[in-house]
Structure 1
Amino acid sequence: MKNIKKNIIVFILISVVFIFIWYIYNNASSKVGYKTDLPKVGAAIYKYDDEFMSYILNSMEDESYGKVALNVNDSQNDQNIQLRQVDEMISNGVRAIAINLVDPKAAQIVINKAKAWDLPVIFFNKEPESSVLNSYNKAWFVGTDSKEAGILQGKMIVDLWNQNKSKWDKNHDGKLSYVLLKGEPGHPDAEARSKYALDEIKKAGIPVEKLDEATAMWDAAKAKDKMDAWISKFNNKIEFVISNNDVMALGAIDSLEKAGYLSGNKFIPVVGIDAIPAAIKKIKEGKMVGTVLNDANSQGKAIIDLVANVAKGKNIFSGTSWRGNSDKSVRIHYVIIIKDNVDEAEQAYK
């Protein structure tokens, strides 16, 4: 009799422990979004150590909780690695793919792979050619309009130059003498940002003199090296540094600061694009004059909202505030950021 009672007590205790563990597991899994009934989604970032892309990735991971089981890959800036990752996603049974291409020209290969399995694809950040996007009815793009970034950067430069011309026009010749830091060669964002920024300056009637331009691959260290060389070559002739993104702008600022060019009469204005937190800090310190907010948080949210819908077989915009354009895109608008409105950028990255 005693053994029977002991066995019953042991059984009850084991049952209680099991129920407790089951309860904790299910509550924890619901909080972090890993329920087994969530559709699997594969994603790839062209390289994890791109600072701006890291903010999009953070937003995607936050937004995915409770919506999809998201598995993200680092493509290490190698298109062959990324294509193998796409194959692995497909073999692992994903219901949709979200991909930040290493090379936009590889979009057709990705579409061919997805199309063979009837899988939806959301491209983001790096935009495929429109003909490629239109070749598959389950392909879309989430990103920005590179032209808009350049236009707004140009307008910002015009306003800042007109307000500070007496201090910044060092030789008083009326010309804006600039150096330009470009992203990777042939990249649509780099080309559009450069062209439209300069077009806006010229359109405003400001004469310009290009001292030099150089490719720095969106990288701070490469930009610092370019800026070091320009300081040595042009001495006091540089009146403006225009950068295709904030990371390169920060590299230029590092160079200028060490050479004593960010104070007094030697001050050289620097502008970028993205409004990443490190750049906002420099603007607040008066070491950078402006940037253009590239809203990583909204982009990450849009990517997950759309990929979650298509993975569940719903209309792509069902239950979202996003609206598609005729070119099968969702565009997130840019915002000019200067010292007066840095709080807008801080809020976007909060």
Structure 2
Amino acid sequence: MRKAVIFIMLVLSVFAVDGTVFAADKDIKIGVVYYKFDDVYITSVRMAFERLVAGYDNVEALTFNSQNDQALQFEQIDQLIAADVDVLLVNIVDTQCAHIAVGKAEAAGLPIILFNRESELASYSDYEGARYVGSMALEAGIIQGEMIADLWLSDPAYDRNGNGVLDYVMLSGDENNLEATLRTIHSVKTVEEAGIEVAELGSVIASWDADKAYDAMKGWLATDIDNIDVVFANNDSMAAGAIVALQEEGFNLGQDGGSADGGSADGGSADGGSADGDGAGGFIPVFGVDGTEEALDLVSRGIMSGSVTQDQQAMGEAMFKLAYNAGQGREFLDGTDYSYDESGLAVRIPYQAFVVE
């Protein structure tokens, strides 16, 4: 009987919920800093993470909005360390400064998980208490490039000026941001590898921001309205901003005449937009990255041509599970189904193409 009781106690002290939570675990505090709250994708990730936190009585999350200010974020990290958190989750503002955040965690003896905004491996590989959770940035560029190449080759009418060249404009994220750089390089490179000649008509660092993308698109339409074949955007917010500008010129209205800020999902074109025009100005394909709710709606309605989806729920769940384990003093992946990539330090959330055939 005594052995049976001991066995039951051992079982109860191991997996209790979801294969990752231990009934005998201690209370922990997770410190989280997001690069900014008003990023659409980050908002979805934050909500997914907070839903998980709310389900655990032994977890408290201390959360900060860094407002896209790296100096402020470092101050917030210092505050979290002073608040005695058990683990840090950092959505770094400037990816070139990730090593400083890691250094702060190492000096405090805290595990740290960088997430979503990828920095160089060397920025965290020397500290055994550091990990990364995010997608493979170049993969997003490759998938976006494949979607663009497929669309271009499907109908010669996408060559709006008939010059045999895919003339494009590029909306990039932050300057010197590894994610933005890789998405930009590999999207264009993949189109070229499909045997398509390309020419860049314009490129702007729009900082992941819809308003800045809108302004850039308005400028390009003023100078090259008859030559732009495709709009590449490093994220969906910038893609949506570009679409607002296009719609003001009569482009990309969809068969339901819908706008980029919402509307019926049942009246749009089902082929990513007609190559020979869907409104007074016609149609210019726009592609983004993230798979935000807004972007998926625009694609479904034939207003936007495609997005590379990044699973917000999966990102938030991986962040939580790794942080929970680290806060309990266990190996980051203990009791999970995750595995590290070839670096042995990063957990990757796969991308997928979203188009409407």
Could you state the TM-score of these two structures normalised by the residue count of structure 1?
A: 0.84
Paired amino acid for 1:148: E
Looking at structure 2, the residues matched to 113 and 187 of structure 1 have their Cα atoms a distance apart, in angstroms, of 21
Who is 1:230 aligned against?
220
Who is 2:356 aligned against?
339
- 1:205 counterpart SS class: coil
- 1:217 counterpart SS class: coil
From 208, 212, 222, the counterpart of 2:198: 208
Looking at structure 1, the residues matched to 205 and 107 of structure 2 have their Cα atoms a distance apart, in angstroms, of 38
Q: State how many pairs are aligned.
A: 304
Looking at structure 2, the residues matched to 286 and 128 of structure 1 have their Cα atoms a distance apart, in angstroms, of 35
Query: 1:221 offset after TM fit, Å?
Result: 0.6
- 2:77 counterpart SS class: helix
From 290, 308, 311, the counterpart of 2:306: 290
Who is 1:99 aligned against?
90
Looking at structure 2, the residues matched to 157 and 246 of structure 1 have their Cα atoms a distance apart, in angstroms, of 15
Using the aligned pairs only, state the percent identity: 36
Looking at structure 1, the residues matched to 120 and 158 of structure 2 have their Cα atoms a distance apart, in angstroms, of 40
Is the aligned partner of 1:47 residue 2:36? yes
Q: Deviations over 1:66-106 (max 9, x none)?
A: 16211111111111211111111111111111010111222
Who is 1:271 aligned against?
287
Query: 1:37 offset after TM fit, Å?
Result: 4.8
Query: 1:278 offset after TM fit, Å?
Result: 0.4
Paired amino acid for 2:91: N
Query: 1:112 offset after TM fit, Å?
Result: 2.2
- 1:72 counterpart SS class: strand
Who is 2:104 aligned against?
113
Query: 1:325 offset after TM fit, Å?
Result: 2.1
From 117, 123, 141, the counterpart of 1:126: 117
- 1:181 counterpart SS class: strand
Instruction: Please list, as runs of the form range in 1=range in 2, the aligned pairs for 1:1-350 lying within 5 A after superposition.
Output: 37-64=26-53, 65-66=55-56, 68-165=59-156, 167-262=157-252, 263-264=278-279, 266-327=282-343, 328-340=345-357
- 1:195 counterpart SS class: helix
- 2:171 counterpart SS class: strand
Preserved contact between residue 95 and residue 178 of structure 2 (Cα < 8 Å)? no
- 2:155 counterpart SS class: helix
- 2:63 counterpart SS class: strand
- 2:46 counterpart SS class: helix
Query: 1:308 offset after TM fit, Å?
Result: 0.2
Query: Taking structure 1 as reference, are residues 289 and 117 closer, same or farther at Cα in structure 2, changes over 3 Å only?
Result: same
Looking at structure 2, the residues matched to 268 and 84 of structure 1 have their Cα atoms a distance apart, in angstroms, of 44
Q: Deviations over 1:142-195 (max 9, x none)?
A: 011111000000011111111132x21122222111111111111111111111
CA RMSD of aligned residues (A): 1.4
Q: Deviations over 1:23-79 (max 9, x none)?
A: xxxxxxxxxxxxx95211111001111111111111111122316211111111111
Which protein has the larger Cα radius of gyration, Structure 1 or Structure 2? 1
Query: 1:298 offset after TM fit, Å?
Result: 0.6
Kindly report structure 1 stretches of 4+ aligned residues shifted beyond 3 Å: none
- 2:353 counterpart SS class: strand
Looking at structure 1, the residues matched to 176 and 104 of structure 2 have their Cα atoms a distance apart, in angstroms, of 25
Who is 1:348 aligned against?
none
Query: 1:248 offset after TM fit, Å?
Result: 0.4
Looking at structure 1, the residues matched to 42 and 133 of structure 2 have their Cα atoms a distance apart, in angstroms, of 13
Preserved contact between residue 34 and residue 66 of structure 2 (Cα < 8 Å)? yes
Higher helix proportion, which one? Answer: 1
Looking at structure 2, the residues matched to 138 and 270 of structure 1 have their Cα atoms a distance apart, in angstroms, of 41
- 2:33 counterpart SS class: strand
Looking at structure 2, the residues matched to 128 and 208 of structure 1 have their Cα atoms a distance apart, in angstroms, of 29
Preserved contact between residue 35 and residue 69 of structure 2 (Cα < 8 Å)? yes
Could you state the TM-score of these two structures normalised by the residue count of structure 2?
A: 0.82
Looking at structure 2, the residues matched to 225 and 244 of structure 1 have their Cα atoms a distance apart, in angstroms, of 16
Looking at structure 1, the residues matched to 242 and 115 of structure 2 have their Cα atoms a distance apart, in angstroms, of 28
Structure 1 stretch displaced more, 208-217 or 219-228? 208-217
Looking at structure 2, the residues matched to 113 and 234 of structure 1 have their Cα atoms a distance apart, in angstroms, of 48
* Structure 2: gaps of 5 or more residues: 1-24, 253-277
